[in-house]
Amino acid sequence: MFRYHDGRLLCESVDLRQIAEVAGTPCYVYSAGSIRDRYREYDFAFRDLPHTICYAAKANSTLAVLHLLAELGSGFDIVSGGELYRVLKAGGDPSKIVFSGVGKTAAEIEFAIESGIHSFNCESEAELEIIDGLGAGRKVNVAIRVNPDVNAATHPYISTGLTAHKFGIDIRRAEHIYAHAARLPNLRAVGISCHIGSQMLDTAPMVEAARKILALVERLRAAGHQLRYMDLGGGLGIAYRPEESSPQIFRFVEPLYDELLAGGLEIFVEPGRSIVGAAGMLLTRVLYRKHTPSKEFVIVDAAMNDLIRPALYGSHHEILPLEQSEEVSVVDVVGPVCETGDFFARDRELAGARTGSLLAVAAVGAYGFAQSSNYNSRPRAAEVLVDGDHWRVVRERETFEDLTRGERV
């Protein structure tokens, strides 16, 4: 959905320079068409299997993005009361919401029960007991998140499927935990959940984990547990580098299709990054060029408070000029924040980075704005949604007054 035409970078049919000039920089831009296409790929991959696609709101919880997905019929995977509030405000169907996360508070659980969500993905015995205590005869649906001890082969900060991680319940204890849940009067343990990590470019670990969970389902049913659905989590990655290719959901579903169909369970999945990641770009303007004896720096008006992924994960994002140029130099692209870690690229060949020129940081639709902050008292960026040849600001740029809202001297 992002391409050059006559030397100018477009999002769908909109010239990104127009957005930068009107909405200002830094500015996040999202392609509605790309989001729709990725969602429909998931829907198509499961074919005749009963399934619910629960978009992982943590990847990008902007109301316009959530509303766009709600219009497509998406469910939602949430990890906080705030995300539940956002999803409901965006028009999400509460009966298609699953609540994940290791540290749900009593207030969040009560809010979710009162809202009529589909179910909780539970990660400890203590959590089961808290939900049971708050159920008050309402028979709350729960799935137990099982940790299958499968290595997701991804960044250690976003790997979640090993016994050393805080997530889930050890698969060797799962049958004991289901027996305990069956004795709690306000719970219906009718689901099973698994999520082993994020940004996976190889689907093999996901297939391995799913097969372990399917084998566990057979044992649980033999013990009398009436399981109705299986939540396979999310985790598919996207291509951040030109030499990478994004894995496709059908490559995960296809080898499991017959086994899933035979299992007779409704399938839930929780994609986030793979739905919105490639749909976003961060527009930024070059403020200065600076030379030192060892480096050439391109200083831009976006910073680590706007996009922390390079500093936090050492992640790679392609950087493109909004106007194609043959002037290429090797530079560090850095922001104004007072941290050496405030960078977007190091020793990168970059075209068209003169003072005043516009650049786009690619593949930032997931965990971009969602992780942004006001560090260095910088107002957060504007957000724009493009749909065909139309675009609109869906989140206004913060003002200095916004920085101190709610504070008292």
Residue 67 lies inside a defined structural domain of this protein: no
Residue 146 lies inside a defined structural domain of this protein: yes
Residue 371 lies inside a defined structural domain of this protein: yes
CA distance 156 to 105: 26
241 and 353 belong to one structural domain: no
Q: What is the dihedral of CA 107, 193, 37, 370, to 10 degrees?
A: 40
For residue 63, count CB atoms less than 10 angstroms from its CB and return exposed for 0-12, middle for 13-18, buried for 19 or more. middle
140 and 265 belong to one structural domain: yes
173 and 196 belong to one structural domain: yes
- How confident is the model over 223-250, as a mean pLDDT? 92
Q: What's the pLDDT score for residue 162?
A: 47
Q: What's the pLDDT score for residue 163?
A: 54
The closest of 240, 403, 207, 223 to 313, measured between CA atoms, is 240
Residue 243 lies inside a defined structural domain of this protein: yes
151 and 241 belong to one structural domain: yes
108 and 26 belong to one structural domain: no
Q: What's the pLDDT score for residue 156?
A: 53
Q: What's the pLDDT score for residue 136?
A: 83
Active site residue 54: no
CA distance 406 to 408: 7
Q: Which band of pLDDT confidence, cut at 50, 70 and 90, is reported for residue 155?
A: very low
DSSP 95: G
Long-range contacts of 75-84 (CB under 8 A, 24+ apart): 75/118, 75/268, 77/234, 77/270, 77/272, 80/108, 81/105, 81/107, 81/108, 81/111, 81/112, 83/57, 83/58, 84/108, 84/111, 84/112, 84/115, 84/117
Residue 300 lies inside a defined structural domain of this protein: yes
* Domain final residue pick, 269, 299, 329: 269
252 and 361 belong to one structural domain: no
CA atoms within 13 A on the CB side of 386: 25
Q: Which residue has the tokens 């598919």?
A: 236
pLDDT in tens, 47-103: 899 999 999 999 999 999 999 999 999 999 999 999 999 999 999 999 999 999 999
129 and 230 belong to one structural domain: yes
| CATH classification of the domain holding 290 | 2.40.37.10
Q: What is the dihedral of CA 350, 353, 359, 364, to 10 degrees?
A: 40
Secondary structure, 3-state, 223-273: CCCCCCEEECCCCECCCCCCCCCCCCHHHHHHHHHHHHHHHCCEEEECCCH
Given the residues 27, 54, 122, 338, select the one marked as catalytic. Answer: 338
* Domain final residue pick, 222, 248, 269: 269
Range of the domain at 366: 2-30+277-397
* Domain final residue pick, 213, 248, 269: 269
131 has pLDDT over 50: yes
The helix-helix angle for 106-115 and 81-89 (nearest 10°) equals 30
> Which structure tokens are listed for 208?
């391995």
Residue 82 lies inside a defined structural domain of this protein: no
Q: Which of 85-99, 208-222, 227-241 has the highest mean pLDDT?
A: 85-99
DSSP string, 358-381: EEEEES-SSSSGGG---GGGPPPP
| CATH classification of the domain holding 261 | 3.20.20.10
Q: What's the pLDDT score for residue 157?
A: 45
Q: What's the pLDDT score for residue 158?
A: 43
- How confident is the model over 387-391, as a mean pLDDT? 98
153 and 238 belong to one structural domain: yes
The closest of 381, 365, 366 to 31, measured between CA atoms, is 365
165 has pLDDT over 70: no
- How many structural domains does the chain have? 2
Residue 110 lies inside a defined structural domain of this protein: yes
Residues in the chain: 409
304 has pLDDT over 70: yes
196 and 109 belong to one structural domain: yes
The closest of 189, 188, 236 to 216, measured between CA atoms, is 189
153 has pLDDT over 60: no
Distance of CA 12 to the CA centre of its chain: 22
> Which structure tokens are listed for 4?
């050059």
Mean predicted lDDT score pLDDT of the chain: 93
The closest of 313, 347, 321, 320 to 333, measured between CA atoms, is 347
200 and 289 belong to one structural domain: no
163 and 19 belong to one structural domain: no
CA distance 138 to 133: 10
> How distant, in Å, are the alpha carbons of 16, 34, 197, 291, 346 from that of 299?
20, 30, 34, 11, 12
285 and 244 belong to one structural domain: no
361 has pLDDT over 90: yes
Residue 45 lies inside a defined structural domain of this protein: no
